[in-house]
Amino acid sequence: MAAVQLTVGVEEEFLLLDAEKSQAAPAVDAVLAEVPDDLRGQVAREYLTSQIEINSPPGLDLRALRHSLGLLRSGIAGAAERAGARVAAIGCCPVNGPEPPVVDEPRFHRMVERFGALSPGPGLNGVHVHIGVPDPGTGVLVLNHIRPWLPLLHAATTNSPFAEGRDSGYASWRSVMWERWPSVGPTPYLESHDHYEELVARLISSGAMLDEAMLYWYARLSARYPTVELRLGDVCPSLDDTILVAALARGLVGTVLADIEAGRPAPRLDHHLLAAAHWRAAHDGLAGLLVDPADQRSRPAWHLFQRLFDTVRPELERNGDLDLTTLLIGRLRSRGTGASRQRAVYARTGDIGAVLDHLTLPTSLA
């Protein structure tokens, strides 16, 4: 299993903004109408009319993935401009404003009826990375092995420090809001694929989910594709960040596949400690402390992120991703996460509007 190069694909969700004002715009239908024909199959509505989603094709080469995502990002940015709107790569809107309606689809209306206002505001925008696995049983073993490492990737994606016009104190306020949903949280330790399916069925019968697609664990088996889906956190501000997370996610899955083949057991990390590690990731990002996957003690974030890189380094090298990943980690360390960059813009300008301008997608391939 570990000798086979794994496919990787990415889903990204974005916030639609008014062209002039610093507030969300319920413009998804108008934007979709302007998307070029050759991209339409990879662009979709999300939960609210102020959100839009792109989906890359799966592939093996990170540079091809970057090119595909760049075309999609610039494609929806151009479509938004023609529709009188903008697209921002941000985890959640940092200012109050009129709350856009839910997209007019029966499933979304059922979600509102069942769960009420669990996602106030104009939408929570995340990044999801899909890594191909040979079969669901192997996928469940992968989920067990990657659990302790996911808070580090969570921290790298933090990109929503502001809420209601002020600093929330968190690097990812989206993560705090997202955890209101009853099916959000760390993936539990799974005894088998049958155990996985039994949990899904019981969560649906309990009323906590409408269907399997509402299984919002931080990593899960995809309901649509033969992949493990890492639902890591906020949408990333730049392609550099997205590609770095995709590279590390694939490297991590490939690394644990080798552990599985060698018969090494997955660590049985306590669920509450794992939840605490994700909370710390959402609070600090990479600018403070994170929880060590080995002993659950708090240590400097970049020390632990370097350990993750060292752990997956052989797999990155085997995939031909090592040089690019090394470059992108250097850029992330130099610039900081999206949360750090937002705070730097606000410290310089004192203007939330300037923060949103900073996160508005370019209309040319970047």
Residue range of the domain that includes 149:
8-349
Q: Does the predicted TM-score (pTM) go above 0.75?
A: yes
Decide if 21 is inside a domain: yes
Count of the separate structural domains present in the chain: 1
Of 19, 42, 43, residue with least CA distance to 32: 43
CA 53-155-268 angle, to 5 degrees, is 105
Tell me, yes or no, whether 111 lies in a domain: yes
In a domain, 362, yes or no: no
Is 193 inside a domain boundary? yes
Instruction: Return per-residue pLDDT of the chain as tens, 366 residues.
Output: 556 789 999 999 999 999 988 899 999 999 999 999 999 999 999 999 999 999 999 999 999 999 999 999 999 999 999 999 999 999 999 998 888 999 999 999 999 999 988 877 889 999 999 999 999 999 999 999 999 999 999 999 999 999 999 999 999 999 999 999 999 999 999 999 999 999 999 999 999 999 999 999 999 999 889 999 999 899 999 999 999 999 999 999 999 999 999 999 999 999 999 999 999 999 999 999 999 999 999 999 999 999 999 999 999 999 999 999 999 999 999 999 999 999 999 999 999 999 999 999 988 765
Q: What is the DSSP string of 105-134?
A: -HHHHHHHHHH-SSS-SS-B-EEEEEEE-S
Residue 3 lies in a domain: no
365 domain residue, yes or no: no
What CATH number should be reported for the domain holding residue 127? 3.30.590.20
What residue spans of the chain are helical by DSSP H? Answer: 28-34, 62-82, 106-115, 136-146, 150-156, 173-178, 193-206, 239-261, 271-284, 301-319, 322-335, 338-349, 352-359
**Residue 366 falls inside a structural domain:** no
